[in-house]
Amino acid sequence: MAADMDPERAAARRDLAVRAAVEQGLLDSEPLVCLLDTAGIRASAAALAAAFAAVLVPGTPVLHAFAVKAAPLVPVLRLLADAGLGCEVAGPGELALARAAGVGAERTVLDSPAKTAAELREALALGIAVNADSRQELERLDALLAAAPSASPVGVRINPQTGAGTIDALSTATATSKFGIALRDPGAREWLVRAFLDRPRLTRLHIHSGSQGVPLPLIAEGVRELHALAEEINAAAGRRQVDTLDIGGGLPVNFASDDPAPTYAEYVSALREAVPSLFDGSYGLVTEFGRSLLAKHGLVLARVEYTKTTGSRPIALTHAGVQLATRTVYAPAAWPLRILPYDAKGAPKDGDPVAQDIAGPACFAGDLLATARELPRLAPGDLIGVPDTGAYFFTAHYGYNSLPRPAVHGFAVSPAGVRFSLARPAQSMSAIVAEAGGDFRDALL
């Protein structure tokens, strides 16, 4: 395991960053900041690349494309690009972010179940790889390509219908999933083979069978189905028409501890067991990981503003809630988060554990990050750290109560100390007003 992926070293860097955030005044004017461990992010990217490089035939084309939805921040995309990753985008906004980060068209993939003609036209003009999600979209692409030829690689997303994981809302390979062309529906497989034979420029197949709550064997089963379909198409075509398999992402993240499990090496091992010939050089590969690259390298750091006891239950009122951890607040059983207690100086807080609620600032009763969590009793001025939040948490703000987006700082630890770099400033009140139509105050009178 690379040194920067070691959980003990990562936890030590995190504690140093919390203390430095207090000492350097990051919390002086804001009661909440979000931190990203840049060394950890680079280590995740390196671990992904190394896991595939270790088993692939040398020279096999591989693109590891970061799923932008997991952390749509231009400096994050730039950091990952510098670490060798491209971008998987799901709409014009994410494409604009990828382009702003300097990610080239040849390292960008467009996926989405509801692409407009304008989105497709832009992607084709730029030469971005496109995965059609439906029969109707494929027909739309036919018309667009007939009108304006493109260098874009074009593929089709399939739904292998291999089954759900433990979180229904994130299971993309169920019998009725909205994504892709259902492979096991009557006549679908035959239609797909014919669709490729009728369209010689179709050269890719795409799948995304994994996500949080989906075990590795089930993810690998979906990839096996993808590979088998590619082999069938190529046999029917009498040539290697399908040359690239986009196997998606969706590696689950361990939210229970600092241990980064499962690892990319374990993921690759599961694929090798299920589809040994995936790595023999016959196909170029694309991956689309998001959460697993970023989650464990993010930390929410919030001040405890008040404490109270209600019905014998101690409650710590903080500034971290539904606006940052939307999934946890609305589905706590599926998205539990750890709470790390710190004192007002940023040192880890000790003391006898007391069952207490960790509440956010929003005006509804369910705005809780944790319920009856055993922690040293918190007091006003203390801090809570919420780890594993580098993807889909504070990066995907939810504007309940017009709560502002917090500042995001990257941090790097060296013998000289901790250096912070602002990746996104805190949202100003004027920006909130403008976003809410402030410039059009009288428009409805």
CA distance 48 to 31: 35
> Hey, what's the torsion of the CAs at 346, 352, 354, 358, to 10 degrees?
10
The answer to whether the CB of 173 falls within 8 A of the CB of 160 is: yes
Q: Which residues, other chains included, contact 207 with Cβ-Cβ below 8 Å and sequence gap of 6+?
A: 157, 158, 159, 160, 173, 180, 222, 223, 225, 226, 245, 246, 247, 248
Q: Which residue, 97, 175, 101, 194, is CA-closest to 110?
A: 97
- For the chain, the straight-line distance linking the first and the last C-alpha, in angstroms and rounded, comes to 63
> Does residue 34 have an active-site annotation?
no
DSSP state of 187: T
Q: Which residue, 366, 382, 401, 256, is CA-closest to 316?
A: 382
Q: Which residue, 164, 181, 148, is CA-closest to 219?
A: 164
Cα angle, residue 104 at apex, residues 99 and 106 outer, rounded to 5°: 135
Sequence letter at residue 38: T
Helices 135-147 and 117-126, axial angle in degrees (round to 10): 50
HSE at residue 162, side-chain half, CA atoms within 13 A, is 22
Sequence letter at residue 77: L
Q: Which residue, 112, 63, 66, 107, is CA-closest to 92?
A: 112
Q: Please give the radius of gyration of the chain, using alpha carbons only, rounded to the nearest integer.
A: 23
CA distance 366 to 9: 35
Token pair of 4 as six digits: 């920067």
Measured in degrees and rounded to the nearest 5, phi and psi for residue 322 equal -60, -25
CA distance 348 to 292: 26
Given the residues 363, 365, 429, 443, the one annotated as active site: 363
The answer to whether the CB of 131 falls within 8 A of the CB of 106 is: no
Q: Which residues, other chains included, contact 27 with Cβ-Cβ below 8 Å and sequence gap of 6+?
A: 21, 33, 301, 303, 383
Query: Would you please indicate which residues are annotated as catalytic (active-site) residues?
Result: 363
